[in-house]
Chains A and B, each alone.
Chain A
Amino acid sequence: MNKVTSRQIWLTILATALFAPVVLASAWPALRPSWLVTRVGGAPLGAVLVVALIIIFAAMVVALAARLAKIDGEQS
């Protein structure tokens, strides 16, 4: 039987917290500041932030996999 670890819980909370503003902004006008359309490197800041989040989540996957592989190595 697998046990739920504190790492799983905290990382799930972190992922939710990172993603939540994008979701809430879709339905909540208060979370749509006008500076989201300010250009950064030619692209609107809102689009840049979404791309940054994609990169952050991909990095989190890589880091987590590396960490799990290290734990495997220590256990074996």
Chain B
Amino acid sequence: MNAAIGFFSLTILASLVVAVWASRRTKARADYYVAGGNLSGAQNGLAISGDFMSATTFLGITGMYFDTGVDPSSIYYLTPLVGFFLMLLWVAGPLRQLGRFTIGDVMTSRLGDPRLRLFAGMSALFISMFYLVGQLVGAGGLISVLFGINFPSAVLVVGVLMTLYVILGGMMAATWVQIVKAVLLIATVVGVSGLALIEAGGLGALYDKAIAAHPLKEALFMPGAAKLDLFSASSLAFGMTVGLLGLPHILIRFFTVADVKQARRSAVAATLIVGGVFILLFGVLAPATVAFVHADPRFHDASGALLGGGNMPAIHLASALGGSQLMGVVAAVAFATILAVVSGLVMSMSSAISHDIWSVLRGGRAQTEKAELMVFRVGAALVSLIAMGLALAFQHYNVAFLTTLAFGIAASSNFPILMLVLYWRRLTVAGALIGGLFGLAASVVLTVLGPAVWVKLLHHPAPLFPSDYPGLLIAPLTFIVAVVSSRLSSVQGVPSNAAVVEP
């Protein structure tokens, strides 16, 4: 345990050093919002992959595999790759060409109406908040297991740290913490996977051990264990795939590079890194959690439940393979992973508040750069407080599932409007606003009315909407509402002056 505390302290200290270093290089507004806008494609690719390889990937999806095998974890492992492909095909280039700091910039540069910032800002807040809550739940569980402190105190520690990073160093700090963490995470996944293969005696023996340990036996490697209906499976895949094209904290990373060429290089670098890590997670590390943790009584309480909850198999695997020292290293890396991701999320929400929502609330009146940065910092503190409160309410949920909700909302609101902004000349301000707000409201409402929130959290006897994944229903409706509203509205959007860009 001492080793674990040592690694943890070292991680926190190192990331604080990065944040302080970044704060010294952060002077102007562009430094805060987009890290100066001059990152290379490789650096940004590492940061994007870091954003993507969150607690969801390392703890949540591994926990899902631990419970039900390849279903639905195979969908989770594949969707980012499909999403990155579609991102490169449809949005990476045009987005970089039109945007400056936020998605609101992209929308207003095309349609010329600042009211669109209100939609873009609110959408960024809702999506990132769901994502953030998932990360905080993962962090809380992790610290609880490692130090034996209670969940609320653990969430408080993470919340304070993430707020500090963002207030101190803005996007510069969030990016460099993300890059360092991505490298650490890759090394950890490679190392633990290698150890698991050695300990089991090869890949075949590892899978044999997993089959022997799990009650599903060979069905562990067959689809169907999660018992998803056709709509839920399709909607989950749809939301996770195109939701990536609407996630504000990923999209704003394309503004941190100098041009379209670097934006594309970012997408390629991110894909290769995420793909490599996911192959190891899906092929070796996740089955290893089943093989080494599932039947080991050291990792279960008297009732048979996994210690620390369903997000902890990867941490217990480290303990099974290398004792408390390896567990300390892995837990420290997982913690750094979460800190880096939550910093990026708070960054995305704070910039939406200060750059988009606040400017509309002021009626478009100009404000000084200093005043805007003050709103940015206050916004960061505020969203962190709200997220900590929500994390306490959602503490018993799987991290990957919570993230799915964020993807579903992004797929239903940001994605359709962004596609229309980039590709449909007849889109009007009214169409974008009505369509976007419809998608946002409908997806949030149906998510609340679904089984996970309405039944499990709010304790109603039955859900009012039968699925937790409304994206496949809402996204097409958002397209339709935006198109019909554009046709019916008399106010035509200002044509874009931006050059035509190959995606």
- Inter-chain contact A22/B78, CB cutoff 8 Å: yes
Beyond A42-B206, A57-B275, A69-B264, 15 extra complex contacts between A and B, CB < 8 Å = A8-B89, A15-B82, A23-B236, A26-B74, A26-B233, A27-B233, A28-B230, A39-B204, A41-B203, A50-B70, A51-B279, A55-B275, A61-B267, A64-B89, A75-B502
User: Using Cβ atoms and an 8 Å threshold, which residues of chain A touch B224?
Assistant: 25-27, 29, 32
- Inter-chain contact B207/A43, CB cutoff 8 Å: yes
- Inter-chain contact A50/B77, CB cutoff 8 Å: yes
Q: Which positions 58-74 of chain A face chain B at CB distance < 8 Å?
A: 58, 60-62, 64-65, 68-69, 71-72
Nearest-Cβ distance from residue A22 to partner chain B, whole angstroms: 6
User: Using Cβ atoms and an 8 Å threshold, which residues of chain B touch A6?
Assistant: none
Instruction: Known contacts A27-B230, A27-B233; decide if A1 and B88 are in contact (CB<8 Å).
Output: no
Q: Once bound together, how far apart are the Cα atoms of A19 and B236, in whole Å?
A: 13
- Inter-chain contact B93/A42, CB cutoff 8 Å: no
Q: Which positions 285-304 of chain B face chain A at CB distance < 8 Å?
A: 287
Q: Which positions 24-41 of chain A face chain B at CB distance < 8 Å?
A: 24-29, 31-32, 36-37, 39, 41
Q: Once bound together, how far apart are the Cα atoms of A21 and B72, in whole Å?
A: 13
Instruction: Known contacts A36-B222, A53-B78; decide if A69 and B261 are in contact (CB<8 Å).
Output: yes
- Inter-chain contact A62/B221, CB cutoff 8 Å: no
Q: Once bound together, how far apart are the Cα atoms of A42 and B284, in whole Å?
A: 11
Q: Report which B residues bind A (CB closer than 8 A).
A: 70-72, 74-75, 77-79, 81-82, 84-86, 88-90, 93-94, 202-207, 218, 221-224, 226, 228-230, 232-234, 236-237, 241, 260-261, 264-265, 267-268, 271-272, 275, 278-279, 282-283, 287, 422-423, 425, 495-496, 498, 500-503
- Inter-chain contact B229/A27, CB cutoff 8 Å: yes
Q: Once bound together, how far apart are the Cα atoms of A43 and B232, in whole Å?
A: 28
Q: Once bound together, how far apart are the Cα atoms of A23 and B236, in whole Å?
A: 9
- Inter-chain contact B204/A42, CB cutoff 8 Å: yes
Residue from A8, A46, A54 within 8 A of B81 (CB atoms): A54
User: Using Cβ atoms and an 8 Å threshold, which residues of chain A touch B234?
Assistant: 23-24, 27
User: Using Cβ atoms and an 8 Å threshold, which residues of chain B touch A11?
Assistant: 85, 89
Instruction: Known contacts A26-B71, A42-B207, A50-B77; decide if A58 and B271 are in contact (CB<8 Å).
Output: yes
Instruction: Known contacts A23-B237, A50-B282; decide if A61 and B230 are in contact (CB<8 Å).
Output: no
Residue from A1, A15, A57 within 8 A of B495 (CB atoms): A1
- Inter-chain contact A54/B78, CB cutoff 8 Å: yes
**Can you give 24 contacting A-B residue pairs, CB < 8 Å?**
A1-B496, A1-B498, A2-B422, A15-B82, A15-B86, A19-B78, A19-B79, A19-B82, A24-B233, A31-B223, A43-B204, A43-B207, A44-B221, A46-B222, A47-B70, A50-B70, A50-B77, A54-B279, A58-B271, A61-B88, A65-B264, A68-B503, A69-B261, A69-B264
- Inter-chain contact B268/A61, CB cutoff 8 Å: yes
Residue from A3, A46, A53, A65 within 8 A of B223 (CB atoms): A46
User: Using Cβ atoms and an 8 Å threshold, which residues of chain A touch B236?
Assistant: 23
User: Using Cβ atoms and an 8 Å threshold, which residues of chain B touch A41?
Assistant: 203-204
User: Using Cβ atoms and an 8 Å threshold, which residues of chain A touch B500?
Assistant: 1-3
Q: Once bound together, how far apart are the Cα atoms of A15 and B82, in whole Å?
A: 7
User: Using Cβ atoms and an 8 Å threshold, which residues of chain B touch A36?
Assistant: 221-223
Residue of A nearest to B221 (CB): A44
Q: Once bound together, how far apart are the Cα atoms of A54 and B280, in whole Å?
A: 11
User: Using Cβ atoms and an 8 Å threshold, which residues of chain A touch B495?
Assistant: 1
User: Using Cβ atoms and an 8 Å threshold, which residues of chain B touch A37?
Assistant: 218, 221-222
Q: Once bound together, how far apart are the Cα atoms of A46 and B234, in whole Å?
A: 19
Most chain B beta-carbon contacts within 10 A, residue among A22, A36, A53, A68: A22
- Inter-chain contact A8/B503, CB cutoff 8 Å: yes
Q: Once bound together, how far apart are the Cα atoms of A55 and B500, in whole Å?
A: 32
- Inter-chain contact B78/A57, CB cutoff 8 Å: yes
- Inter-chain contact A50/B74, CB cutoff 8 Å: yes
User: Using Cβ atoms and an 8 Å threshold, which residues of chain B touch A8?
Assistant: 89-90, 503
Residue of B nearest to A28 (CB): B230
Nearest-Cβ distance from residue B44 to partner chain A, whole angstroms: 14
Q: Once bound together, how far apart are the Cα atoms of A60 and B267, in whole Å?
A: 12
- Inter-chain contact B268/A65, CB cutoff 8 Å: yes
- Inter-chain contact B203/A43, CB cutoff 8 Å: yes
User: Using Cβ atoms and an 8 Å threshold, which residues of chain B touch A69?
Assistant: 261, 264
- Inter-chain contact A57/B226, CB cutoff 8 Å: no
User: Using Cβ atoms and an 8 Å threshold, which residues of chain A touch B241?
Assistant: 19
Q: Once bound together, how far apart are the Cα atoms of A52 and B78, in whole Å?
A: 10
Residue from A23, A28, A43, A57 within 8 A of B85 (CB atoms): A57
Q: Once bound together, how far apart are the Cα atoms of A61 and B425, in whole Å?
A: 27
Q: Once bound together, how far apart are the Cα atoms of A51 and B81, in whole Å?
A: 11
Q: Once bound together, how far apart are the Cα atoms of A11 and B74, in whole Å?
A: 22
